Structure 1
């Protein structure tokens, strides 16, 4: 999760909430992409998770953040005296922690996929240089392949304590989501309300396809779990009020206001005042907006309250002042780069975007949901509209490739951005997701042992 927003400007009407989102509109010439990814740190000598303060004389998460601060010169983000992240200069990205110590890079807004690939390479070089003296390495998969929830540490961040207390009240898998999953996502811009709606609908409809293409979590506690993306399965029973496929987004007249109305009805987690997180879990933002929040009498909503509330909503595609693609498991570096390539190719080229809409516009809400439900286990063998998902994947990848080719953003060697789709082309050509490849290696090459996965997939 990115850094909590701090803006005490008061707000008192729904129109102001709508305007805050609408302020994200940009001309296409100013579109950027911001790629975020999470990864699990582990001690290489025994494959155990890394706690905040370290263990047995070895450094921990705190030491990684302090080392990165010294190396990069970024501003520390502190919660109750604990460093829990770093903010880059002038909005240029951030490093943050997920609840179980998952180490996250929230990338800066950049113009091209070449830029985001360079950013990833630089980040991995930096963090590995800091981690190596502590005997720490990293692996990126959709779900922790080995550790139980009890073995997983908890990071010292106020909002996570509130969430951990609330999650078991609204679903059975929320704590697994918090402590044992990793994702990669890309944040993309929109030009107008109509552009937002078209991109939201296309990306929601195709998010299960992205889940299948990026499925990389077939393990739980050292064994095969029978799924291709257990991370995606976990989201099906985390908190239905704040997650899912947003069927209302396909209703006639969908708008910024439609999303705001939905967001207002999602219960809050917290209200932050100064450095203090006030637990208001289950309360209504509408009450805060009206100054009638029972837990904080007289407090009125601020811009930061709204921005922070939006960051605690977890649909398959999330709207803030940009759109966040949230359906993919984390994976190795080539997959981390393929995710933004997939969505940029589809959503930042009008020809590709319109053609993608033509592919999905006939699907019903029930069909979209059935696909979403099937994908964690079936992967590319799931079906929609009478077609196997692997066949749809070929068509969608062709659209994305065309979109990237028409963008014609070249690197120093004259290469366009289409090469970043190569890992996805290989998955479809081989008809084997990364999850299926790893499951096969587990049973054959690794003789049913999970330990060899860690050095094989270490970043």
Structure 2
């Protein structure tokens, strides 16, 4: 989840909200790639969750990381809750259950974003190993109950934890027991944003299937290949989902603003203080009529923070966030941005991707979204299996990366980062299915070996 914004400039009208989003438009030469990934810390001895406090806890890890990379601490009161690279633009933050997130800097190529991931994971391992813990990349915590999972000391998470059970069955599981990898990508204009948003939404279940990697809950198979994706189907449907309105005529920044204004707020932040306003309307704040802050209007911070509490499959801010993939192995953290960059940052590929999905109906897209958590590559849409569609999608992405022709120091283009997806397609098997085969075979129906064999 995003860091809270700090910008006290007032916002006085719906037009200001629209203008704030529209200010994200940039020339294609300025397009950047921002990769984010989350991972579960666990004790090397016993494979238990890692608490925040204590000499071998998350706080000590953050302090160790700060000493190593000299990033600025992000504080809530006196409590360190993250780190910020004030020069490069990256950040390290904590998810509610201690999931450790790298929010990568906006970078020019997959080569750079993958080097950033590699450097981060090497740093994390160097600091964490002496403390006696490691990190696991899966979409769902494979072993711990909610009660066993620690709670990070962040004000916004207390408010969300109180509200979530009122609006869905799985909100607390989403917060405390899931991990994702996502990529943030730019748009050149309103029309470019709309096209990328539509392609991203339609193909998000294809990415979910390719990266499906959350088959275990509390030590046993949970009946899904991406249980993380299933969790989002019943977390809070007022703020999640496939955004069918995005495919309607007239879609643009204004239409998304109207959608966001109808999503209930979680909190208003004033200074260091989080004010619980869960369920209330941003429209009231905009109109200086919110009872929690009498007479006050909205600020840029309020709007940016509100947008960060909306969780559709593709999220619009001043860029687009591709949100459908489970956390996974090291190589998959580079494959995800490669997939979407190849699809969306080359106009020929973007056109080809739109041709692939443009005739899918709202009902078909939703049925695909509903089926993929359980069936993954075996789900179907418009008479074709997801495996078939995914082969087309990865090929379109590959051609886009070839045309981008961004080379590393060894002369290699970005297509090499699609390798893990080629392996999945060749086998016709998701990462989750590979884990389940190990569980039923070599692991003797235990999830414990996942902590040894799939740790970073």
Band the TM-score falls in, shorter-chain normalisation: over 0.9
Residues in 1 aligned to 2:438 and 2:294: alpha-carbon distance in whole angstroms:
58
- Decide which of 188, 191, 200 is 2:188's aligned counterpart: 191
Aligned to 1:364: 361
Residues in 2 aligned to 1:268 and 1:139: alpha-carbon distance in whole angstroms:
32
- Decide which of 53, 63, 68 is 1:66's aligned counterpart: 63
Residues in 1 aligned to 2:104 and 2:403: alpha-carbon distance in whole angstroms:
24
Q: Is the 8 A contact 1:442 1:450 kept in 2?
A: yes
Within-5 A mapping of 1:332-411: 332-411=329-408
Q: Is the 8 A contact 1:142 1:217 kept in 2?
A: yes
Deviation by residue 1:191-247 (Cα, 9 ceiling, x = unmatched): 000000000000000000000000000000010111100000000000000000000
Residues in 1 aligned to 2:330 and 2:455: alpha-carbon distance in whole angstroms:
10
Shift of 1:2: 2.4
Aligned to 2:316: 319
Residues in 2 aligned to 1:381 and 1:329: alpha-carbon distance in whole angstroms:
17
Deviation by residue 1:54-84 (Cα, 9 ceiling, x = unmatched): 3xxx510000100111111111111132100
- Decide which of 291, 295, 301 is 1:298's aligned counterpart: 295
Matched, 1:219 2:226: no
Report the 3-state secondary structure (helix = DSSP H, G, I; strand = E; otherwise coil) of the residue aligned with 2:249.
coil
Q: Is the 8 A contact 1:74 1:89 kept in 2?
A: yes
Matched, 1:38 2:35: no
Aligned to 1:139: 136
Residues in 2 aligned to 1:131 and 1:278: alpha-carbon distance in whole angstroms:
34
Deviation by residue 1:80-114 (Cα, 9 ceiling, x = unmatched): 32100011023520000000000000000000100
Within-5 A mapping of 1:194-209: 194-209=191-206
- Decide which of 36, 50, 75 is 1:78's aligned counterpart: 75
Q: Is the 8 A contact 1:2 1:94 kept in 2?
A: no
Matched, 1:441 2:438: yes
Residues in 1 aligned to 2:336 and 2:320: alpha-carbon distance in whole angstroms:
14
**Aligned-residue RMSD, C-alpha:** 0.6
Residues in 1 aligned to 2:216 and 2:48: alpha-carbon distance in whole angstroms:
16
Report the 3-state secondary structure (helix = DSSP H, G, I; strand = E; otherwise coil) of the residue aligned with 1:452.
helix
Aligned to 1:309: 306
Aligned to 1:27: 27
Aligned to 2:429: 432
Matched, 1:116 2:113: yes
TM-score normalised per structure 1:
0.99
Q: Is the 8 A contact 1:247 1:365 kept in 2?
A: yes
Q: Which runs of 5+ in 1 are unaligned?
A: none
- Decide which of 388, 403, 416 is 2:413's aligned counterpart: 416
TM-score normalised per structure 2:
0.99
Q: Which runs of 5+ in 2 are unaligned?
A: none
Residues in 1 aligned to 2:152 and 2:316: alpha-carbon distance in whole angstroms:
27
Aligned to 1:240: 237
Matched, 1:250 2:247: yes
Deviation by residue 1:161-199 (Cα, 9 ceiling, x = unmatched): 000000001001000000000000000000000000000
The aligned length equals 456
